[in-house]
Amino acid sequence: MKSLAYSLAIALAVILPHTVLAQHHQLTDEIFAKKAAAGGLTEVQLGQLAEQNGASQAVKDFGAKMASDHGKANDNLKSVASKDSLTIPDKPNAEQQAMIDKLSKEKGDAFDKAYVHAMLRAHVQDRALFKEEIASAKNPDLKQFASDTLPVIEQHLDMIKKISENGPGAASGSSVDMKMAPPTASKSGVEATESTPGTATSPQ
């Protein structure tokens, strides 16, 4: 069971669509928009699974926050895409959906371990992707979207690190403090709340 959960986590992290681009691939606005859209949709579905299948309250609460925050970000990206005539996916790709289906069969501690491991990797990679778009974007609306969404991604990374450090499957009744601090204003409407002080952020 443990090895299965680990294998699922590795596979899930690899196929999440906002993985870092191959070193020699140029990030374009179109590629970013497609990756961000498919990735956001995937993370909403995984968040909903965490609410249903997770063992610990921390994982369930984090899943709910993921579904909510990425749902808002997805709506904002759809607005940008509509305004700028960009084509973005409206569902995860086949590989992502296959992994969602596999993870949907996991329950309890096995789900928590696979989900937390995948979210750690995915959010480190998300942060790199969004930073690259901010640095290289030609489309000002996508640059603004990336700039507004990056603090949310960084907050998620801090939260999932804390869950991982506490041991997601060790305390099914525990929960990470997800009290909302005053939201950071953003033009795209995605709100980032303050992370718990003292949580380290991995260098990118």
Note whether residue 97 is domain-resident: yes
Residue pLDDT, tens place only, 64-85: 999 999 999 999 999 999 999 9
Note whether residue 176 is domain-resident: no
Residue pLDDT, tens place only, 18-62: 444 444 468 999 999 999 999 999 999 999 999 999 999 999 999
Coil, strand, or helix at residue 54?
strand
Which pLDDT belongs to residue 180?
A: 36
Note whether residue 174 is domain-resident: no
What CATH code is carried by the domain that includes residue 140?
1.20.1260.10
Note whether residue 201 is domain-resident: no
Report d(CA 109, CA 13) in Å as an integer: 18
Which pLDDT belongs to residue 102?
A: 85
Report d(CA 52, CA 180) in Å as an integer: 23
pLDDT for residue 87 is more than 80? yes
| Six token digits for residue 118 | 């995948």
Say how many domains are in the chain.
Answer: 1
Note whether residue 101 is domain-resident: yes
Note whether residue 178 is domain-resident: no
Q: Give pTM, 2 decimals.
A: 0.74
Note whether residue 183 is domain-resident: no
Note whether residue 65 is domain-resident: yes
Identify the domain containing residue 15 by its residue range.
2-19+27-166
Residue pLDDT, tens place only, 114-168: 999 989 998 999 999 999 999 999 999 999 999 999 999 999 999 999 999 987 6
